[in-house]
Amino acid sequence: MRILLTADPELPVPPKLYGGIERIVDLLVTGLQARSHTVGLVAHPSSTSPADQLFRWQGLRSQDKFDAFQNTVTLWSAVQKFQPDLIHSFSRILYLLPILYSRLPKVMSYQRYPSRRTTRWGAKLARGSLTFTGCSDYICRIGQAAGGVWHTIHNCVELERYTFQPTVADDAPLVFLSRIERIKGAHTAIAAARKAGRRLVIAGNQVNTDEGKLYWQEKIAPYIGKDGIEYIGAVNDIQKNELLGQAVAIIVPIEWDEPFGIVFAEALACGTPVISCHRGALPEIVRQGIEGYLVNSVEETCVAIEQLSKIDRRNCRQRVQECFSAPVIVKRYEQLYHSSIPDKP
C-alpha cells in the first residue's frame, strides 16, 4: 500500500524533546516500511523521519487561518504527487477539506479531544470514506457522540528504547515527569512525597505563561531543594530512560482527563509502576494494584507509595509488550487500512 501520513505542523517528526504525537507518527512510518508499505509524510520542514517521500508544511501554526489555508493546499498537492491508496491524518481535519468528497480512503486520528462540530461535518462530507480513531476508549466515546465510525488504537512506545529494570535501590526516588502545570499535579506529587518521607525528582518543562509562571512561583519553587525535592529541568530520551528506570514509581497525579499520556507507557516499559488518578485514559493503561495505583487524594497517594513493594515490575514491562508496543499498534493500524481498502495486498 501507499500510505500518506500527516502530523501537526508545529514540531518535527520525530521531536527533539517532547512531542508524543510526533513520536507515534515516526514509529508508524518505520513500522509500515518494515511491513513493505510505501510511506509519504507531510510534516514540519525540519522532520528527519525516514519516509519514502517528505512533504513540508508551509504554515507552522495550526491555529492560524492563513497557515491553515497554506497547509490545506500543501496536503492537496501532496496527494496529487504521491497518489496514495489511503491518507492517515494526525493533524487537522480542516486540511482534508478539498479531498473529503473524494472516494479516497481517509483515517483521522485523535490524540486530543475531538471537536464534535468538525468531526460531525467531516463524517457527513466524507460520505463513508473517512474513519476515525482515538488514542483511548475515553477519546472515542467523546467522538462517537458526534457520529462517524470510531476505533480505539492506543498510543505506543518503541520498547527497545527503554531498559527494563527488575529492581531498584531501597532509597530510589519517586519521579514526576511532565509539563510543570497545575493539571499535571506536580504540587500534589510534592505534598505526597513530603508526607510519605520519600525523595522526589521533578523533570519537565516549565510553562511560560502568566498562569504557568505563577503556578511555579507559588506551588513548586518554594519546595525545591528541601525535604528531598529536586528539579532537574527537561530531559532527553537517554536521560528519560535512566531517570524512569531508577525510580520506585512515576507519580503524575493529574487534575484533568488525560487522553492517553505516553509517559505512563514509557515508565511501564522500564518496569516502573505508575501512581496517577482515575481520570481520562488512565484506567486503560494502569490496572489497579498490578501496574500501579490510581488515587483520588494526597492521603490515598501516600498509601499507594507505601504499597509499591507489592508491584511486580515484570508485570509493568509485560503490559507494554502486550498492549502498547510499536509492533502491536502498527499492526492494528495496518489492519484498519486493509479494511478500508480491501483490494490492496
pLDDT surpasses 90 at 17: no
The per-residue pLDDT for 208 is 94
In the chain, the domains with their CATH numbers are 2-156+325-340 (3.40.50.2000), 159-323 (3.40.50.2000)
pLDDT surpasses 90 at 331: yes
**Is 7 within 8 Å of 44 (Cβ atoms)?**
yes
* Distant-in-sequence, close-in-space partners of 57: CB < 8 Å, separation ≥ 6: 9, 42, 43, 44, 45, 70, 71, 74
Q: Name the strand (E) or helix (H) holding 33.
A: helix 20-34
pLDDT surpasses 90 at 19: no
The per-residue pLDDT for 345 is 52
The per-residue pLDDT for 107 is 98
The per-residue pLDDT for 335 is 97
Provide the whole-model pTM: 0.93
Average pLDDT over every residue of 43-70: 95
The per-residue pLDDT for 344 is 53
In this structure, which long-range contacts are made by residues 82-85, counting pairs with CB atoms below 8 Å and at least 24 apart in sequence? Answer: 82/2, 82/4, 82/40, 82/53, 82/55, 83/2, 84/2, 84/3, 84/4, 84/40, 85/1, 85/2, 85/3, 85/337, 85/341, 85/344
pLDDT surpasses 80 at 280: yes
The per-residue pLDDT for 282 is 98
The per-residue pLDDT for 16 is 80
